[in-house]
Amino acid sequence: MRKFDIIIIGGGHNGLVAASVLSKKGNKVLVIEKNEQLGGLSNYVDSLSYISEEVLKELNIKIEKDINENYVSALSDDLYHTVLKINGNKNIEILQTNASESDQVNFIKLINKYDLFARTLRSFMFKKPPRVKSGSRSDIWQLVSMGLKVRLLGKKNMRELLRVIGLNIADDLEDNITDNILKGLLSNEAVIGTNLGARSPGSILNLLYNQATNNSIFRINKYNTNSFLNSIREICKKNNVEIETNKKVEKINISNQNVNSVLLDTGEEIQTSSIISNVDPKTTYLKLVGAANLDTDFIRRTKNYRTKGTVAKIHIDFENEIKINNLDTKYLSGKFVYAPDIKYIEHAFNDNKYNKLSSNPCLEFYINKNKLTANIYFIPYLINSAHDKKKILSNVKLILEKFVTENQILSSTIETPNDIEDKYNISGGHWSHGDMEIDQLLMMRPFYGSSQYSTPINGLYLCSAGTHPGGGVTGINGINAAKQLLKDNRNG
Amino acid sequence: MDNSLSFTKPLLETPFHERTYEACYNNDWYRWAGYKIAREYSNTELEYTAMRNTAGVLDITPMHKYDIKGADAIKFVDKLVTRNASEIKSGQVMYIIWCNEDGNVIDDGTVFCFDSNHLRIFCAERNLNWFSDTAIGFDVEVEDVSDTIAALAFQGPLSCKILNLLNVKNIENLRPFYFDDFDLNGCKVTISRTGFSGDLGYEIWCKNEDAISVWDSLFKFNRDYKVLPAGMNALEMVRVEAGFIQPNADFMSAEQALRPNRMRNPFELGMGWLVDLNKNYFTGKKNLVNLKKKTLTKKLVGLDIQGDKPAIGSVLYDKNKKEIGIVTAGMWSPSLKSNIAFGYVDKDHMKIGSKVFAEIYHPEELEYKKIWAECSVVKKQFFNPPRRHKVPAEI
């Protein structure tokens, strides 16, 4: 039987990051990936929106940024589109809009407010989250510093943060601006990839959280995915990490609450004393570990962890190069949002509540010559059935026809949350391996009893997006999990 | 206020209701899991005396009954309970408790093994939610069959004799904690040698439609033996004498307690003998391993109290009048002629023979008599006659 110090289940970006950190310390590491291609869900996005400085520094790598100037265009049915130019994370300029002068001023003010709050939250993102009642000094210190950071915002801003943090995005927008397109544009950022509508409490928190992890409110910094994956793979190669693709872990064998070995679908058993699972928490616990090794209360929390995916992806090939009606071609390199107002988003969200397709979905898309890639929501994950993809396509077509004329669709492929589940082995096909809502964040991510990357099973750790700080290609989950494992091994 | 619009669901009647209603002279009903059960038929002491000297019949139909069916049935029970249930045989009954992840007791009950694919758990509180969540990942189906089975407890020294007179074949050879199918007066019934009285006794499980016939046959020889229906008050007396504890009376079920420090682990309840830490993983094992290493801070013990006034709800003190605990159940035991109780004591007074004091408030004709009574800590099982365990049972 082969033997490794550490086995990493899943060669997603977090698994690879964890492997590079661990192998640097001289551990014999094996990464097992189910698919041919490494990178997991980071391949799903065409370009990465953000990789944190902390990760780049820790791994000592550099990644190319594709474009410096970014545009975000909010499409409008009356073809008076709104275009923003984004330089870095703070400098946002409105290039064209139908909104009034005061709306424009208030919109920028609102964005600056969210940016301030997001920067405060950002300081919590990159450390392991403190446990509330552990009594450990580092946990207490971190809790105190979290409180202090919020207090240092000043009286007025702290009050404002505490006022809006549980609020829904629609309320805050309606208090400040009147233009529907601008409202829809910001709401899009608050609800995409979640089970929240613009009027659901917690949508502002989700917006701030996204902004904090991505360092950009519109998630539009473009880093090259391949460049990132290649550089971590190189580190792994240099440190003799063994990577095996096209192999699936069927079971984690456990004896006496200690990790013992993993069983592959090839029938091979590989011995180890430590495992980091890059698989989502639900699959890890219910399928790999098995309910027989866990307490009923814990199983209950695992079962109740919300992982319903809501976003589908469509790739469309057009006959000719794509042009958007009534929009300058120089903005085509940017991001397009079709979420024309709050009511529209809410109606799309209503269908999601009853596990139905939104017949008028919201879109977020990118254009590359004659190719168009769009995130469509809300397309809920279905447990025992499948969506009619033709219907999804025709819904999307109806929207695109308003803006793209004199062009024919040649072919298209659609990935629903069910497809994401099958392809990447993520239960529910959720972008972030679980809803990013207040009861599933920080020390409560994924849930009580499983925080700080550790699990009830000795030697088993989690590093997927189901852990703090959640989804997005940050790599933080991998680093923190690896550090926690090293710390526990040091302490015996 | 106009009450005509208020709606309350009436209490359900058990299949024995036709008979219990006739017998319940006091019309004093107790609410148990949505059913009407007699608290006292005519006189609690008389009913108690029947159970201790001839036999008493208790309607225990509201008991919750959960069928566990499937290939993993035994594995499921083994994961659920603290005892090693992996080697349970068909026809066997096991007394079980189950805990949550913190190692606090949720409930106790019995499990009947029909065969390796079919077990049935009996318990006093609702547990379907807990069982269903425990069943995740096992090839079993948990079904609540509470309403489909009528049940009587037939408890007392003459119980075997009367069943024998009723031509229940071979009943005397049924061992304690075993069950089998029998023919009782033409009805197919399941009889187990189990019970809550701590004496020789049986529990009879039958179909709802056979209920009246089974009830009537138990009273067939009443001219000579004077079997009485017994209510919940009488049951409370015999169970304290027998040393059986009850959830939400002697301890709070971990699923129902609101205050975390009110939950109790098996060691605190004196049920450490039911916890097997060497068996396969079960819910709570991790914490029970740690708890076993720790010294207990409180424990439920039996108390033998000076005097004859029951120490119901009393506070317990040490000799320096420092509060150390509380009495959860107390009574004057007519059989033992002593004043007994269950109570929690602190770590300095857990040993058998320790002396503690109870402050008893005894109502006497509209005035309380305050009694400062010395108690000695004893084993919880006050009453345990040899006939309870004897095989073959006395006919």
Would A185 be classed as within a structural domain?
A: yes
Q: Are residues A113 and A170 in the same domain?
A: yes
Query: Does residue A295 belong to the interface with chain B, where contact is any CB pair within 8 Å?
Result: yes
**Tokens coding B133:** 């969540």
**Tokens coding B329:** 């159940």
Q: Are residues A206 and A228 in the same domain?
A: no
pLDDT at A90: 65
Calculate how close chain B gets to A12, using CA atoms only, in Å.
27
Q: Are residues A126 and A201 in the same domain?
A: yes
**Tokens coding A373:** 């890639």
Q: What is the per-residue burial (b if ≥16 Cβ within 10 Å, else e) of B263-281?
A: bbbbbbbbbbebbbeebeb
Q: Are residues A210 and A134 in the same domain?
A: yes
Domain end: A214, A247, A265, which one?
A214
Of A257, A303, A456, the CB nearest to B136: A303
Domain end: B247, B275, B294, which one?
B294
d(CA A368, CA A381): 28
Q: Are residues B301 and B284 in the same domain?
A: no
pLDDT at B52: 96
Q: Are residues B15 and B160 in the same domain?
A: yes
Using a CB-CB cut-off of 8 Å, the residues of chain B touching A300 are 133
pLDDT at B5: 64
Domain end: B294, B317, B345, which one?
B294
Query: For helices A342-353 and A180-191, what crossing angle results, to 10°?
Result: 30
Would A364 be classed as within a structural domain?
A: no
Would A163 be classed as within a structural domain?
A: yes
User: Does A299 contact B133 at a Cβ distance shorter than 8 Å?
Assistant: yes
> Quick one: which of A413, A388, A332, A394 has its CA closest to A365?
A332
Per-residue pLDDT of chain A (492 residues; tens, 9 = 90+): 899 999 999 999 999 999 999 999 999 999 999 999 998 888 888 777 777 777 888 888 888 776 667 899 999 999 999 999 987 656 889 999 999 999 999 999 999 999 999 999 888 888 888 887 777 888 888 888 888 999 999 999 999 999 999 999 999 999 999 999 999 999 999 999 999 999 999 999 999 998 888 888 888 877 888 888 889 899 999 999 999 999 999 999 999 899 999 999 999 999 999 999 999 999 999 999 999 999 999 999 999 999 999 999 999 999 999 999 999 999 998 899 999 999 999 999 999 999 999 999 999 999 988 999 999 999 999 998 999 999 999 999 999 999 999 899 999 999 999 999 999 999 999 999 999 999 998 889 999 989 889 999 999 999 999 998 888 888 899 999 999 999 999 987
> Quick one: which of B44, B119, B115 has its CA closest to B80?
B119
Amino acid at A65: K
Would A28 be classed as within a structural domain?
A: yes
Query: For helices A225-238 and A13-24, what crossing angle results, to 10°?
Result: 30
Q: Are residues B150 and B179 in the same domain?
A: yes
Q: Are residues A117 and A259 in the same domain?
A: no
Within A320-473, residue ranges assigned H as helices are 342-353, 389-403, 417-424
Query: Does residue A292 belong to the interface with chain B, where contact is any CB pair within 8 Å?
Result: yes
Q: Are residues A57 and A156 in the same domain?
A: no
Using a CB-CB cut-off of 8 Å, the residues of chain B touching A286 are 136-137
For residue B367, give the CATH number of its domain.
2.40.30.110
- Total Cβ atoms within 10 A of residue B307: 17
Would B325 be classed as within a structural domain?
A: yes
Phi, psi at A47, each rounded to 5°? -140, 150
Query: Does residue A251 belong to the interface with chain B, where contact is any CB pair within 8 Å?
Result: no
Q: Are residues A48 and A129 in the same domain?
A: no
Number of domains, chain B: 2
pTM comes to 0.91
**Tokens coding B148:** 């489909």
Of B80, B101, B138, the CB nearest to A297: B101
Phi, psi at A147, each rounded to 5°? -60, -40
Q: What is the mean pLDDT of chain A?
A: 91
Q: Are residues A148 and A177 in the same domain?
A: yes
User: Does B101 contact A291 at a Cβ distance shorter than 8 Å?
Assistant: no
Within A137-242, residue ranges assigned H as helices are 137-151, 155-164, 169-176, 180-191, 203-214, 225-238
pLDDT at B188: 96
B187 touches B247 (CB < 8 A): no
Query: Does residue B139 belong to the interface with chain A, where contact is any CB pair within 8 Å?
Result: no
Phi, psi at A491, each rounded to 5°? -80, 0
Of B79, B134, B137, the CB nearest to A286: B137
Using a CB-CB cut-off of 8 Å, the residues of chain A touching B138 are 291-292
Using a CB-CB cut-off of 8 Å, the residues of chain B touching A295 are 100-101, 283-284, 286
Domain end: A184, A214, A244, which one?
A214
Q: Are residues B231 and B314 in the same domain?
A: no
d(CA A412, CA A410): 7
Q: Which domain holds residue B162?
A: 8-294
> Quick one: which of A408, A435, A403 has its CA closest to A79?
A403
Number of domains, chain A: 2
Q: Are residues B94 and B25 in the same domain?
A: yes
For residue B53, give the CATH number of its domain.
3.30.1360.120
Residue of A nearest to B254 (CA): A297
Would A405 be classed as within a structural domain?
A: no
> Quick one: which of A188, A185, A187, A181 has its CA closest to A376?
A188
Domain end: A188, A214, A240, which one?
A214
Q: Are residues A6 and A32 in the same domain?
A: yes
Using a CB-CB cut-off of 8 Å, the residues of chain B touching A253 are none
Q: Are residues B89 and B185 in the same domain?
A: yes
Q: Which domain holds residue A265?
A: 2-64+223-303+435-490
Q: Are residues B120 and B139 in the same domain?
A: yes
pLDDT at A57: 86
Query: Does residue B7 belong to the interface with chain A, where contact is any CB pair within 8 Å?
Result: no
DSSP track, B114-172 = EETTEEEEEESS--HHHHHHHTTTSS-EEEE-GGGEEEEEEESTTHHHHHHHTT-TTGG
pLDDT at A123: 81
3-state secondary structure of B391: coil
> Quick one: which of A12, A17, A24, A457 has its CA closest to A274?
A457
Using a CB-CB cut-off of 8 Å, the residues of chain B touching A298 are 101
Amino acid at A349: F
Instruction: Match 């701590």 to its residue by tokens.
Output: B198
A184 touches A342 (CB < 8 A): yes
Would A177 be classed as within a structural domain?
A: yes
d(CA A178, CA A107): 10
> Quick one: which of B243, B237, B248, B369 has its CA closest to B303?
B243
Peptide bond into A417 cis (omega under 30): no
For residue A261, give the CATH number of its domain.
3.50.50.60
Would B35 be classed as within a structural domain?
A: yes
Q: Are residues B207 and B344 in the same domain?
A: no
Domain end: B294, B323, B340, which one?
B294
User: Does A456 contact B286 at a Cβ distance shorter than 8 Å?
Assistant: yes
Q: Are residues B274 and B308 in the same domain?
A: no
What dihedral angle (degrees, nearest 10) is formed by the CA atoms of A197, A199, A205, A207?
Answer: 60
Q: Are residues B341 and B301 in the same domain?
A: yes
Phi, psi at A402, each rounded to 5°? -70, -30
For testing contact with chain B, the best of A257, A260, A296, A450 (most B CBs within 10 A): A296
3-state secondary structure of B379: coil
Q: Are residues B183 and B48 in the same domain?
A: yes
Would A44 be classed as within a structural domain?
A: yes
Q: Are residues A24 and A111 in the same domain?
A: no
Which residues of chain B fall below pLDDT 50? 1
> Quick one: which of A78, A10, A19 has its CA closest to A403?
A78
d(CA B131, CA B136): 9
Would A58 be classed as within a structural domain?
A: yes
DSSP track, B45-111 = HHHHHHHHHS-EEEE-TTSEEEEEESTTHHHHHHHHBSS--TT--TTBEEEEEEE-TTS-EEEEEEE
Q: Are residues A237 and A190 in the same domain?
A: no
Q: Are residues A194 and A125 in the same domain?
A: yes
pLDDT at A458: 94
> Quick one: which of A236, A273, A266 has its CA closest to A248?
A266
Would B392 be classed as within a structural domain?
A: no
Q: Are residues B162 and B285 in the same domain?
A: yes
